[in-house]
């Protein structure tokens, strides 16, 4: 009999790698204003120190704070990033499947927020698993 690992979004801090499971464009309203969010859900590769945890993280890009979104998408998809949008540059939700299954490397930092006991996990520096930066570091 095999035991299932527990899915948790409380990943440890540090440099991790994983696979993009899902990319979703979310539109909602807050305080009467429309907000857009591109959310990437990433399954973290198994961590030796946490054998019973199946860690997941989310990289969120909010419409009004999407600094770095284009850079991250270009690093992951390369020139194919142009196929993700229409002629006006709007992301086409049906094409977000292009991101699913992509292997990525990223950093997780913990940010303590008022009123929350558990720190917020922030994904930064999202890049492809075999990014040139990583190859250069290994060679040095």
Instruction: Report the alpha-carbon distance of residue 117 to residue 67 in Å, rounded.
Output: 28
The structure's pTM equals 0.84
pLDDT of residue 66: 62
Residue that the structure tokens 């019973």 belong to = 52
pLDDT of residue 126: 92
pLDDT at 5 over 50: yes
Residue 38 DSSP class: E
SS3 81: helix
Domain positions in the chain: 6-139
Look at the domain 6-139 and name its fold. Answer: OB fold (Dihydrolipoamide Acetyltransferase, E2P) (2.40.50)
- Are the C-beta atoms of 40 and 99 separated by less than 8 Å? yes
Instruction: Report the alpha-carbon distance of residue 106 to residue 96 in Å, rounded.
Output: 19
């Amino acid at each position: 009999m095999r035991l299932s690992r527990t899915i948790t979004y409380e990943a440890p801090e540090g440099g991790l790698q994983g696979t993009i499971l899902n990319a979703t464009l979310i539109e909602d309203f807050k305080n009467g204003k429309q907000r857009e969010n591109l959310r990437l859900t990433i399954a973290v590769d198994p961590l030796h120190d946490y054998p019973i945890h199946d860690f997941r993280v989310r990289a969120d890009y909010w419409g009004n704070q999407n600094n770095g979104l284009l850079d991250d998408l270009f690093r992951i998809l390369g020139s194919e990033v142009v196929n993700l949008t229409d002629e006006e540059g709007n992301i086409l939700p049906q094409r977000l499947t292009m991101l699913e299954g992509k292997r990525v490397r990223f950093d997780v930092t913990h940010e303590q927020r008022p009123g929350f006991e558990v720190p917020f996990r922030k994904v930064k520096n999202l890049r492809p698993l075999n990014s040139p930066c990583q190859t250069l570091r290994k060679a040095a």
